[in-house]
Amino acid sequence: MRRQLCRNVRVAGAGSPRHHDAGRPQEDALSDDVTREATRRRTFAVISHPDAGKSTLTEALALHAHAIAQAGAVHGKGSRRGVVSDWNEMEQARGISITSAALQFRVQDVVINLLDTPGHADFSEDTYRVLSAVDCAVMLLDAAKGLEPQTLKLFEACRARATPVITVINKWDRPGQEPLALLDEISDRLGIQPTPLNWPVGIAGDFRGVTDVETGGMTEFTRTPGGATIAARESLTAAEAAERHGVDWERATEEFELLAASGQTHDQAEFLAARTTPVLFAAAVQNFGVAELLEAVIELAPPPSAWTDTKQQPRPVEAPFSGFIFKVQTGMDPAHRDRMAFMRVCSGRFERGAVLTQARTGRPFQTKYAQSVFGRERETIDEAYPGDVVGLTNAQALQVGDTLYDSRAVTFPGLPRFAPEHFAVFRPRDTGRAKQFRRGIELLDQEGVVQVLVSDRRGVQAPVLAAVGPMQFEVAAHRLEHEFGAPASQDRLAYGVASRVTPEAAPVVDRERGAEVLERTDGVVVALFADTWRMHAIAGRLPSGSLPPIFAVDDEVGA
């Protein structure tokens, strides 16, 4: 890849104004250290439709960074182990990602914080939380299927946050669409200009390598057994590529030159403004094109920059420490059943053992147990910098959307709750395990696996679980049984729409046929309706504004 692509990269934080005080050399030195460390960080998420190869790509990136010795595949055979990012038992059994995972590793002098996200639409709320904590996204497309519904939704989530997106067209080792057609689809359906950084030599299903923009030649790939190790790469001159690959090389260079002539070339400023998306071609299962992606992330993805607080004020990376809790997870260590809060460092230097302030409650929080995370594996860390993801264990007091800070108070905007569309009553099968059942429901609610609704009519032993998709119920039932020892029965309810309801209108709605009012555990009163038609019919008899939507700015976790 051409190094010139990054000549105009503006390093976030490096040019930020700082007010130096001659009497405070220690603070100035710390500020400089934080700024320097922040420029070395790249924090990004991998997003895709299910089965586009997201977890395989995540593993391949870790392999190319030499963070692991051997790559696995979700459906690996023989000696190939499961992917490190899919550590959950259900993920390994089904071959899909149902929870996000964090991996931190180094490539030369750069610290990579990679967040693998669930691809399934039923877990889109978890993906949205992860996207709130990254500076860039890698969007993975299947070469045969192109843009799929979940891909479109995830891209819109990135667009809403103005998150720069690098696009990878994966599975080029299998039959697929024409590369020019795929770029046209990106442009037409996403409204963003694709700017290829390389071009495939060989049609989909016969992947030979990619054009090398820097040398004008080609990078040729050679398969390794099962794709478990890094694929061999050989640099060819244009003449050598023409001799070996003939018409395939000629076609690749002609198409790439055509795109360059039409202005579809990388512009760093346009990319950072989320108006263009660099495009690369890969076959992650064969480890083809993965090194090129890793290089693109290092060179093009923005380093951490200032976060905006609830008062719309930016907090520079060199400001006193602040962090944002974007995920809470229990069950990562079955032997201890601990609870881990994933914190994105937003500013300053994090030091293990520091006593921080929790913005939501104003209470102190002790950070004695701080760890870096690599899938399920973890190790104690003593410090972290903006962009890093820190796992805080035994963090019962922390919730998704919480802000932690040191010295100078700050609160970052919370995360919205999605409107659920599926509802089920859960009950313990064994009443003797009622305490474990209630504890499990409480933790699943705090993690955001499901939303929990209760009412006097149903009682605390029969909560209604609300979900974006039905697979969330499967996850909840599996974890209740295997993590908390509380097998549960579930009865689906004939509701399909949820809305908040004002206290004045709640009793009226609760008496209506095809409707029910419950309270979410955070105190929000929620009305369930059989369908949209029924909701509108009831709303027509209520004062205006009685049924505000659930997904709303003022309905944010941690706000």
Instruction: Pick out the residues of the known binding site for GTP.
Output: 116-120
Cα separation, 151 vs 458, whole angstroms: 38
Nearest 5°: the CA angle 487, 491, 496 is: 130
Our measurement of the distance from residue 465's CA atom to the centroid of its chain's CA atoms, rounded to an integer in Å, reads: 24
Beta strands in 118-250, from DSSP E residues, in sequence order:
136-142, 165-170, 193-196, 200-201, 209-211, 218-222, 232-236
- Bin 346: left if φ > 0, else alpha if -120 < ψ < 50, else beta: alpha
* Cβ atoms 415, 447 nearer than 8 A: no
Beta-carbon contacts of residue 6 (< 8 Å; ≥ 6 apart): 268, 299, 300
Cα separation, 470 vs 425, whole angstroms: 13
Cβ neighbours of 355 (radius 10 Å): 10
CA distance readout (Å), 190 to 140, 236, 237, 297, 475: 14, 35, 35, 21, 32
What is the DSSP code (8-state) at residue 135?
Answer: S
Cα separation, 321 vs 385, whole angstroms: 9
Q: Which two tokens stand for residue 419?
A: 């409107």
Q: Which two tokens stand for residue 416?
A: 């919205």
* Cβ atoms 136, 121 nearer than 8 A: no
Cα separation, 422 vs 552, whole angstroms: 19
Cα separation, 308 vs 305, whole angstroms: 10
* Cβ atoms 293, 235 nearer than 8 A: no
Say whether 325 sits in a helix, a strand or coil: strand
Cα separation, 427 vs 413, whole angstroms: 35
Cα separation, 72 vs 362, whole angstroms: 44
Q: Which two tokens stand for residue 133?
A: 């904590």
Cβ neighbours of 408 (radius 10 Å): 13
Q: Residue 530, class by beta-carbon neighbours within 10 Å (0-12 exposed, 13-18 middle, 19+ buried)?
A: middle
Beta-carbon contacts of residue 474 (< 8 Å; ≥ 6 apart): 90
Locate tokens 């060199």: which residue? 318
Q: Which two tokens stand for residue 45?
A: 């998420």
What is the DSSP code (8-state) at residue 215?
Answer: T
User: Containing H/E element for 247?
Assistant: helix 238-261
- Report the DSSP pairing between strands 165-170 and 276-281: parallel
Cα separation, 135 vs 118, whole angstroms: 18
Q: Please state the residue numbers annotated as binding site.
A: 116-120
Where does 511-557 have alpha helices with state H? 532-539
